[in-house]
Structure 1
Amino acid sequence: MTNEIVIAQTTVDDEGQARALARGAVESKLAAGVHIDGPITAVYWWKNAVETAREWRISYMTTTDRLQQLEAWLSARHPYDVPQWIMLPVTGGSEAYLSWVREETTRD
């Protein structure tokens, strides 16, 4: 499964940080586009307690070929000790859009 389209997601607790992580990934051609949702409410277990936080979800439209580089890039910039990092496979969609994602994530 090479060069398949995926949506990779993470969250941060600051809108400005979300925008910076989105823009940097697109400028680096690690993602063709990014959606930022928020604020959202996160409820999670952390250090023996249930925590609640306001976060922004960042969804990167990318390919499996760029996923490892995107994860490394994000890991170096992410403010959390253990950031959410998940991948959602794209199983269909407009061929024009899917082709655009592949083209925009191809390194020059």
Structure 2
Amino acid sequence: MYLLVLCTCPDNSIAELIGRALVEDKLAACVNIMPGITSVYRWQGNVEFGAEVQLLIKTASDKYPLLEEKINSLHPYETPEIIALNIQQGDKHYLNWITESLKENS
């Protein structure tokens, strides 16, 4: 099974740090960095607005525990967004590429 993992970051430098680490460690096949989002959220009783960068992380479900651990180790937020969504369908060539990209010997 494949996952799309969402994670917001405070800026591009953190997003690039996390994205590079996940791909280099073969915990993700691909990480898209989407700058320029605005998040509205409740934190410690207050409604907050903040500029953030969204990561779209493509991986396999068996990699998720280590991926979550890696994000938490690099992320500056006390409670980072780490949400995994099952990929129900996808182009077989792309899904095969994800599998090949995550293999230890590739």
TM-score > 0.5 by shorter chain: yes
1:38 is aligned to 35
Say which SS state the counterpart of residue 107 (structure 1) adopts. Answer: coil
Say which SS state the counterpart of residue 59 (structure 1) adopts. Answer: strand
Partner amino acid for 2:39? Answer: A
Structure-to-structure mapping, 1:1-108, within 5 angstroms: 4-108=1-105
Alpha-carbon distance in structure 2 between the residues aligned to 1:72 and 1:32: 17
Deviation at 1:107, TM superposition (A): 2.1
How many residue pairs match? The answer is 105
Partner amino acid for 2:63? Answer: R
* Unmatched runs of 5 consecutive residues or more in structure 1: none
Question: Percent of aligned positions with the same letter in both sequences?
Answer: 33
Partner amino acid for 2:65? Answer: Q
- What's the Cα RMSD here? 0.8
Partner amino acid for 1:6? Answer: L
Deviation at 1:59, TM superposition (A): 1.1
TM-score, scaled relative to structure 2: 0.95
Deviation at 1:35, TM superposition (A): 0.6
Say which SS state the counterpart of residue 55 (structure 1) adopts. Answer: strand
Alpha-carbon distance in structure 2 between the residues aligned to 1:107 and 1:9: 24
**Which aligned segments of 4 or more residues in structure 1 are displaced greater than 4 angstroms?**
none
Deviation at 1:41, TM superposition (A): 0.3
Write the deviation string for residues 12-33 of structure 1: whole angstroms up to 9, x where unpaired.
1111110111111101100000
* Unmatched runs of 5 consecutive residues or more in structure 2: none
Say which SS state the counterpart of residue 30 (structure 1) adopts. Answer: coil
